[in-house]
Structure 1
Amino acid sequence: MLKNFIQNLPKAELHLHIEGTFEPELMFEIAKRNNIQIPFASVEEIKAAYEFDCLQDFLDIYYQGANVLIHEQDFYDLTYSYLQKCAAQNVRHTEIMFDPQTHTDRGVSFETVISGISKATKDAEKNLQVSSLLIMSYLRHLSEEEAFKTLEASLPFKHLITAVGLDSSEKGNPPSKFKNVFKASVKEGYIPLAHAGEEGNADYVWEALDILGIQRIDHGNNSLQDPKLIQEIIKRDIALTVCPLSNTALQVVDDLKNHPLKKMLDMGLKVTINSDDPAYFGGQINTNFEAITSALDLSKDMLYQLAKNSFQYSLLPSKRKEIYIKELDTYNKNN
């Protein structure tokens, strides 16, 4: 297996929920610090609870864990802990999704959330040489009206946010539900992205493309249901941010050996590998690379292409992309 090659492979992570990086040890520590009772007596109990049958099972405990995040320092610690793991895995750039509504609904201010996260990203760029940008996600199980409130709250901090996303329970909450808030978000300068085709079918992906005008598809597995959709995604040159271990943890795919990633690559789709919610789904980005490489017998050339896609389809300016791709090319050539 190509474990050493993967470990040192320069790469970007484009599909990562900061709340989903909440390791049990840190959750326990912050809960104690904030004097918040959680329904677990130990770190081991938290880990045992990280077993899911579907997306909703995961979301239930995900929101429960987020409840211990109260102060700016909590969000800083959460984010910096993740960025340290990026540095250790040679993730050179990451695009971090955060869910303001998960916190503002609990009475935590938007400013507290964004300040803690953004300060950590600045410190990590300086201390760890990991660059990052932020994606503000709307929770699709809530109303569009609630999403508009979040958009409004974000405007004083617009300089800290690059894009908007759409996450949480997909079934029954199609992209079209958020048509107006996405239009308003783009008007404010945010780049539109969305989860589509994880549990929802190919129609959800069409809606995300045609109604929301997204520039990247988060997940997108069910795009394969529709050959016309595949051709359209290729024609528009839109990447898919695929999350292998997340897909098996949430039963989107029954076994990694049946994961469509290799098929996607063979079809000409621009695929990237990501960890989604690594604390909950059994592994950081390198573990995802290793697991899918083993399951599908991916070649070194495929791994190089996946890493190149991650830089090419990031939201970075072209010059920064070129710098990272040059670094990747040098590494690939010498290894």
Structure 2
Amino acid sequence: MRLLVNSGFFTRSIKGQENQEAEEEEEEEAYALTPSSKLVLKENVTTLSPFVLAMLDPALVNSWQFLGDWFRAGSELTPFGEAHGMGFWDYCDQNAEYGNMFNEGMASDSRLMSLVLMDYAPIFEGLGSLVNVGGGTGTMARIISEAFPHMSCTVFDLPHVVANLPDSSNLIYVGGDMFQSIPSADAILIKASNRFSLLKDLQYFILKWILHDWNDDECVSILKRCKEAITSNGKKGKVIVIDVVIDEEKDEQGIIKTKLLFDALMMVLLTGKERNKKEWEKLFLDAGFSRYKIAASFGMKSVIEIYP
């Protein structure tokens, strides 16, 4: 308990308790939850318990032990690949139990979007359509579609990820490969013309915690596909990136260590990394975008708007 108190997971207080027989007051320790520990309560709608379980699974934890050998050998595989003989995404595909745990972990993180919408609703207002690229099982897109029922929302992910997921009145699932092409909202409208009304002029593409999984060249490729989808029909639009921005000089919330730990985690599991402002800017410009702005920040993540 001392360790958990020191790490900020619980608070500790001393309360006096009267002892009738000894006619003296005894001290009693009391512990209470902090904002950090409340986040993993299973009964909370926005619980991060599945995310924590996915990150602490032995398959991930054991991979750290291969970091030194991987670094010295200069292997093309990641430390995770050295540990399991396959890449992280292949592991998720071939191990259904962990794959489901990982999907639920990502979904639990996306449920926090309900809190983001309350504070940053103007970012999403006025949208005619939104395509959630790499949207998984659609938790975040579902929250946005319910908050903005006038909007046409699409979850775009690999075919086996979105297979058999139920559509709703303003939300559909489309399978594909974001490295090959990303359908424009107009193309999606044609595919689901019996469900969606006519789109407004603004089309948005959103990537939440996607780009940090990939190296710079892969990120540029994904962003180029997004830009092609926006500009292919002559309408206006932008890409919303929700991801980590590292700023070691400005750490008002005291979360830089967590961001840097996730940076190391990306090195162990995948080919990606967490990026600072200059690194993000280079990606956007290399992908052909003209400008960007960091519109908001919440917790570990920032909302970045980029424009063709």
TM-score by length of 1: 0.34
Larger helix proportion, structure 1 or 2?
1
Larger strand proportion, structure 1 or 2?
2
Which structure: larger Rg?
Answer: 2
Identify the structure with bigger relative contact order (alpha carbons < 8 Å, sequence gap 6+): 1
TM-score by length of 2: 0.36
